Structure 1
Amino acid sequence: MTNAQTTVDPAEIAKFEAMAAEWWDVNGKFKPLHMLNPCRLDYITRQIAAEFGRDLAKDAPFEGLRILDIGCGGGLLCEPMARLGATIVGADAAERNIPVAKVHAEQSGLDIDYRFTTAEAMAEAGEQFDVVLNMEVVEHVADPLAYLTACQQLLKPGGLQICSTLNRNPKSYLMAIIGAEHIMRWLPKGTHEWSKFITPDELFELLTTSGMTPVDRKGFVFNPISWSWSISEKDLSVNYVTASTKPT
């Protein structure tokens, strides 16, 4: 890694390093992410298909697209992107995540380029991608604008960034901190810092300042009755996702 790690928060990295081996345990510490993943993938694939004119009904619809999953963890998004035909790079600043992701990809027969690195280091090296997946990372970095600027630099002109995070309001504190960490114990206590959560308007402003053009935002909503996630046009009160493009 280079010294361009301006936004890495060592305390945040340590949290995920401690959980690295559990990434693919659907009943482990990352159970909430496994539950959310189909909903995330639905949004991501639809946005990519719309932006690049791809037919999701075809085999390997993302063939020819170079995609970066920044903060890839154990590869929960990288593997489906590879199966859809994309050339995928998974990058994470938590070193212990990378061997876990590599082993699982090999066991799954997938060719994925996993790297222990940062967005800043990759931007400094001149890497370029058609799509940057930036999912549940921005609330963990030390400087969101610097981080998002590095992500913007990693995109080719006309490229697409999908960025999801957590809203900051009393409901998100109740659901994401009290509910997920203390009551349900889905995540270890202290996984999230409510003060680092970002409102949709704040994220749109950060994306715009970084050089992106926000084009969409939706909510990810958990239904405790059906025990499932869905995409909402209106409810962005806790988890939400955005799409933005880089001007040509």
Structure 2
Amino acid sequence: MPQPETARSSIDPAEVAKFEAMAAEWWDEGGKFKPLHMLNPCRLGYITDQIAAQFDRDLSAKKPAEGLRILDIGCGGGLLCEPMARLGATVVGADAAERNIPVARLHAEQSGLEIDYRHTTAEAMAEAGEQFDVVLNMEVVEHVASPVDYLTACHDLLKPGGLHICSTLNRNAKSFGMAIIGAEWVMRWLPKGTHDWNKFITPDELYELLRRAGLTPVDRRGMVFNPINWSWSLSERDLSVNYVTASLRPERVTL
């Protein structure tokens, strides 16, 4: 499998291979990515609320993200890129798993959307001088070899005042039970071995990593699954399994 060109990279080839094997199933709502399809409305709600707050946008407008350049790093099949494009943003989707890109391009074409999909890494794009108003980094940081290097690249990809959204999985007994035993072993929503519990990151650890990368964390919320009505919702208190953070690249460096 050709690797994206970059002088330094935090990608883990074994993690990339896992998602390469599942590439064709991205848009199958009952397939291996069923959990992400179920989670997507919750993720989108958080993302759009943070964009509205940071850039003073009216979400009731026809295209509230118009004029914003958004990067979805680790875009997969485009589950977040497409709704962002519909909101009027100029969207770039990047993924280290090469087989995801033609899947994403074909679905965008079928949906009548213009999205710039690339087989590349955050580090390569940062080294090329690319910059964005918003960087989406969703369910990726727990799969990279060096989270701090990866988040530093995400920082460099933001314009000053830019918004970084990062979601991941907490590391505790509950997350092992739900994300691995429940989702992989019992429900079989994902192939066994998709996640490595040892790579999960606690909210406090992620805040520290974000700060080390030069970002300023401003918010974090849990994304909580309700098994009664099979839906996800945001929580200010329950960050025990899935959670999402918002951070900003400072306007200027304080000496």
SS in 1 for 2:91: strand
Unaligned ranges ≥5, structure 2: none
Q: Distance in 1 between matches of 2:175 and 2:235?
A: 16
Question: Which deviations, in whole Å up to 9, do the C-alpha atoms of 1:15-42 show, x marking residues without a partner?
Answer: 0000000000000000000000000000
Matched, 1:54 2:32: no
What is the match of residue 151 of structure 1? 154
Deviation at 1:5, TM superposition (A): 4.4
Matched, 1:219 2:222: yes
What is the match of residue 133 of structure 1? 136
Q: Please say if residues 20 and 100 of structure 1, whose CA atoms lie closer than 8 Å, have aligned partners that are also in contact.
A: yes
Q: Distance in 2 between matches of 1:236 and 1:34?
A: 20
What is the match of residue 165 of structure 1? 168
Matched, 1:39 2:51: no
Structure 2 counterparts to residues 7-156 of structure 1, below 5 A: 7-156=10-159
SS in 2 for 1:4: coil
Identity of aligned residues (%): 80
Q: What TM-score results when the alignment is normalised by the length of structure 1?
A: 0.99
Moved over 6 A (4+): none
Q: Distance in 1 between matches of 2:212 and 2:32?
A: 35
Deviation at 1:6, TM superposition (A): 1.8
Q: What TM-score results when the alignment is normalised by the length of structure 2?
A: 0.97
Deviation at 1:3, TM superposition (A): 2.8
SS in 2 for 1:44: helix
The residue identity in structure 1 corresponding to 2:217 is P
Q: Please say if residues 5 and 118 of structure 1, whose CA atoms lie closer than 8 Å, have aligned partners that are also in contact.
A: no
SS in 2 for 1:115: strand
Q: Distance in 2 between matches of 1:64 and 1:5?
A: 31
SS in 1 for 2:159: strand
Matched, 1:202 2:205: yes
Q: How much is the aligned-residue C-alpha RMSD, in angstroms?
A: 0.6
The residue identity in structure 2 corresponding to 1:81 is M
Unaligned ranges ≥5, structure 1: none
Aligned residue-pair number: 248
SS in 1 for 2:15: helix
Matched, 1:181 2:199: no
